[in-house]
Amino acid sequence: MADALIDVVSVEELPTVVDLYNQIFRPTRPLESFQRRYSGRHNILQMVARVDDKPVGFFLGFELKPDTFFAWFYGVMPDYRRMSIGSQLMEAAQSWAAQNGYESIRLECHNLHRPMMHLAIDLGYDVVGIRWDADRAANLVIFEKTLTPVET
C-alpha cells in the first residue's frame, strides 16, 4: 500500500490533471475538452494523489443532480497501481460528497475496465444500470453507492 497524499486541488491545477489523464488513457484529450465538460457544472471536485510529491493519480467529479455526485474520471499511473491509491481516491471523493450533502455517488465504467469494476464492487457500489456509449460503441456499467450522512 502506497502512502499517498490526496489533495483537493483548484481548477487552476487542471493542466496537472489533464497531463495525468493523457499519460493514463487513450485517446488523449486537450485541456479545452475538460473545460467544456465543466461548463455549467456545480461543485466540481478535483483531487490529485501524490507519492513523494509526485502526482500519480487523479479524481474528477461534479454534481449530477442535487442529491447525487458523479465520479466522472479517475486514474492511477500504471507504475502505482495495485497500491490502494485508487481506493484512497474514491474513498476521499465519497467522504467529500457526503460532507457536502450528497446522498449518493455514481460512476460509469466500460465493461473492459475490469479492475475498476472490481474496485467499485469492493467499495460497496451497486450496479444500477447500463447505457450505450456511442463514442466507443460499447456499453457502460452504471454503479451507485448510498453515502452515509456526515454528522455536523
Residue 19: domain span = 5-107
The answer to whether position 130 is within a domain reads: no
Cell numbers 493519480 correspond to what residue? 57
What average pLDDT does range 46-72 have in this prediction?
Answer: 96
Q: What is the CATH number of the domain that holds 88?
A: 3.40.630.30
Query: What confidence score (pLDDT) does residue 146 get?
Result: 97
Sign, Cα dihedral of 51, 57, 60, 61: negative
The answer to whether position 66 is within a domain reads: yes
pTM metric for this prediction: 0.91
Query: What confidence score (pLDDT) does residue 46 get?
Result: 97
The answer to whether position 114 is within a domain reads: no
The answer to whether position 80 is within a domain reads: yes
93-111 tens-digit pLDDT = 999 999 999 999 999 998 8
The answer to whether position 86 is within a domain reads: yes
The answer to whether position 21 is within a domain reads: yes
120-135 tens-digit pLDDT = 999 999 999 999 988 8
Please give the tally of structural domains in the chain. Answer: 1
Residue 22's pLDDT band (boundaries 50, 70, 90)? very high
The answer to whether position 20 is within a domain reads: yes
The answer to whether position 116 is within a domain reads: no
Q: Is the predicted pLDDT of residue 152 greater than 70, yes or no?
A: no
